[in-house]
Structure 1
């Protein structure tokens, strides 16, 4: 037999490399290591900064209302500005699915910091609104792109737990904004104080250097580059799983696919629970001082402190329950109890203050527990190929709900009172619950076998 020709040598080398790739252990089964911890804490710092920026807005603009003579319409718009920007999650998800995750996460917290600082230097309402929308767009990157890269890097056995823990840190950031508002009296300083947390997150990400997502690289046919990233961060014995090695080149995910036969239930479920939850949560949370005042709560500080503490407690309880229950049961339970609480508050306005506060605290705890669905369940609803696009769309719709709640709440309170407002929030949550009863799929591996769908 003669020497193999040039084409044969290329084929031999290709098969050798392929065999080497197949002999590697699935990197999703690697133990939790430094790269996982660094990426996780990079996102934790981002979540704290994001929650703080969202939470501080209500107190800041409540202080600015008298100083700038802001009417209810502008007050609602300014409060909803960052939530409107968060609707850009869909665009960020599309960009991320097409061009990758790393660079967006490396840049967004620097831009967030600059926009936060700029708020100090203007009292122009339109410009303030634009800055808030810009901050919301940067938060959208953390929510959409950050969640995608985290679930694509974390070991399968740690993924859901670590991802759900992010919500606890988000709650810390939200609670921190309430405490900060008690010590900062100047509304400009309140708004720009978010720059401190943003800069900390940005610098940390620059120091640790967020890696590319191996799964994303492989899904675009970049197997060699994906292997290099894995081996650099985890060691030479780890590599891509077989299902990703079979992908030669990925076709870009289409938005229309979200409404096709395969994904429409996931899209509708994610939209229904996230949008209605966000309407109630952000509408009440951001303008809590106004709501408490109209509910005749005598000690607004104590009531606000209990509410924000309840958010942290609720998130902690939710983390404990989340992986012990089916996702469907967790969703329905954590929506039904807040609905009952809201209707009790709305229909029994003459309850003693102690009972009113108790019911309001139960509402806060349980609705906060439902936030665990926002990160983990949304990523589980969509597979790798369309994950960031699907999650981005769901977050976009949730921000429409959040922005609507934040915009409408001060107007409804002013026109109809706090108790009608609570009733409206209850009806919105009820609509979301009914839709999910018919469409929500089960994604908890303990209750349904998914294979490697989400790996």
Structure 2
């Protein structure tokens, strides 16, 4: 009998799509907030407890090191599904955030930041997979590229909250760190109330075609179903990480991880410890300079979301790396006594680098097919967190050794390396530009 169902990935937007999208958006806000709040909290902690540059960098990098568990989280999601993990991770995220209130032990704080990072890893990896497996194909790339806008909202809110939270005396820095529990709880409660659906594509990959078809028809309509390629596909065997380094996926895995690592080194190193960097740069009112920087970050991701739909992924990647490096070089060699020049170039750097962040979600996802997607994306995020954690750990150390210029010089070198990696090996994944070849 002829199969009459239309591919559910071509369906118009329905309530289920918005429900899944909003659940992931709330998680992105919580993740951005938790990663951003560590710099402000730890900068204040230095006034109340004995904490050297090593521990400031290590605890600040803790969440990013936890994100290195993304490969493991992706592998679990490819084996056991997406929904259950996303229903519990934000509640655990909130608990770990609140526990920062009850300890000043540096090692325990590092462990809590590590665990928070592991929960963020679930949202980054599993949430992204669920989103792309539900959204219509024509909406997927666009909505993924816009996720960074909401992440940036969370990141900027953390900077504002860090400035505004006061009145708790010697515990103020702990309250700042623990405040990430609020967006985490909001995300967790919404996911529970909205009853997140499982992924039809993942169910089909496990041979559960009937369950997948019922799920699609329940949420989208009777006319829609799995595409024929998924119906005819054999159930996916247990995926080994080694497949990502086979001839088929090797280049994609390395490019996806290394571009992300080089970008994250500069972004997280500078953004998380912005108060320390601005103080070293003698930029007058560091709060005002920080607000300008963060405001430009939002401008950058909005511009990036607009550019994303208009140029090739490859050109976008290469351009943001080299232009970001060029702006940092301008800061290093430009007139140091001119506040206007320095803050102007720093704002330009923020806009350019943050515009490239719009590629962080869609590009790694587009590099891999359904059978290895969560594992592949998770592995790319794991590789990238080495860069992010290195930048966050090293920035306060480098600034202490050689001032802001040494920190910026190292970031410039890493950005140039990232640009060269993309120039030599980054594949084009934009459907519009791949088809046009």
TM-score band, normalised by shorter chain: over 0.9
Equivalent of 2:226 in 221, 229, 240: 240
Equivalent of 1:427 in 410, 413, 420: 413
1:260 shift after superposition: 1.2
Equivalent of 1:211 in 189, 193, 197: 197
Residue in structure 2 matched with residue 36 of structure 1 by the alignment: 17
- After superposing the two structures, state which structure 1 stretch, 333-342 or 36-45, moved more: 333-342
Question: What is the 5 A alignment of 1:243-254?
Answer: 243-254=229-240
Residue in structure 2 matched with residue 322 of structure 1 by the alignment: 308
Contact 1:55 1:178 in 2 (8 A): yes
Residue in structure 1 matched with residue 94 of structure 2 by the alignment: 113
- CA distance in structure 1 between the aligned counterparts of 2:257 and 2:384, rounded to whole angstroms: 6
1:228 shift after superposition: 1.1
The answer on 1:53 being equivalent to 2:34 is yes
Question: What is the 5 A alignment of 1:222-301?
Answer: 222-301=208-287
- Give the TM-score normalised by structure 2: 0.97
Equivalent of 1:190 in 172, 176, 196: 176
1:349 shift after superposition: 5.5
Question: What is the 5 A alignment of 1:27-426?
Answer: 27-185=8-166, 186-348=172-334, 350=336, 352-426=338-412
- CA distance in structure 1 between the aligned counterparts of 2:21 and 2:270, rounded to whole angstroms: 30
1:139 shift after superposition: 0.4
- CA distance in structure 2 between the aligned counterparts of 1:256 and 1:402, rounded to whole angstroms: 24
- CA distance in structure 1 between the aligned counterparts of 2:335 and 2:63, rounded to whole angstroms: 32
Matched residue of 1:81: which SS? helix
Moved over 3 A (4+): none
- CA distance in structure 1 between the aligned counterparts of 2:21 and 2:257, rounded to whole angstroms: 26
Matched residue of 1:309: which SS? helix
- CA distance in structure 1 between the aligned counterparts of 2:179 and 2:279, rounded to whole angstroms: 26
Render the CA deviation track for 1:329-354: whole Å, top value 9, x for unaligned: 11011111110011121233625110
RMSD: 1.2
Residue in structure 1 matched with residue 169 of structure 2 by the alignment: none
Residue in structure 2 matched with residue 6 of structure 1 by the alignment: none
**Residues 449 and 351 of structure 1: CA distance in aligned 2, closer, same or farther (over 3 Å):** farther
Matched residue of 1:67: which SS? coil
Residue in structure 1 matched with residue 425 of structure 2 by the alignment: 439
Contact 1:167 1:371 in 2 (8 A): yes
Contact 1:152 1:214 in 2 (8 A): yes
Contact 2:335 2:341 in 1 (8 A): no
1:214 shift after superposition: 0.5
- CA distance in structure 2 between the aligned counterparts of 1:257 and 1:431, rounded to whole angstroms: 26
Render the CA deviation track for 1:182-206: whole Å, top value 9, x for unaligned: 1113111101111111100000000
Contact 1:349 1:419 in 2 (8 A): no
- CA distance in structure 1 between the aligned counterparts of 2:329 and 2:50, rounded to whole angstroms: 34
1:250 shift after superposition: 1.1
Render the CA deviation track for 1:389-446: whole Å, top value 9, x for unaligned: 1100000111111000001110111111110110100000111111111110111111
1:66 shift after superposition: 2.2
Q: Which runs of 5+ in 1 are unaligned?
A: 1-15, 451-455
Q: Which runs of 5+ in 2 are unaligned?
A: 167-171
Render the CA deviation track for 1:255-305: whole Å, top value 9, x for unaligned: 111111111111111112100000000000011011011111111011000
The answer on 1:26 being equivalent to 2:7 is yes
Matched residue of 1:157: which SS? helix
- Give the TM-score normalised by structure 1: 0.93
1:160 shift after superposition: 0.8
Aligned length: 432
- CA distance in structure 1 between the aligned counterparts of 2:238 and 2:365, rounded to whole angstroms: 18
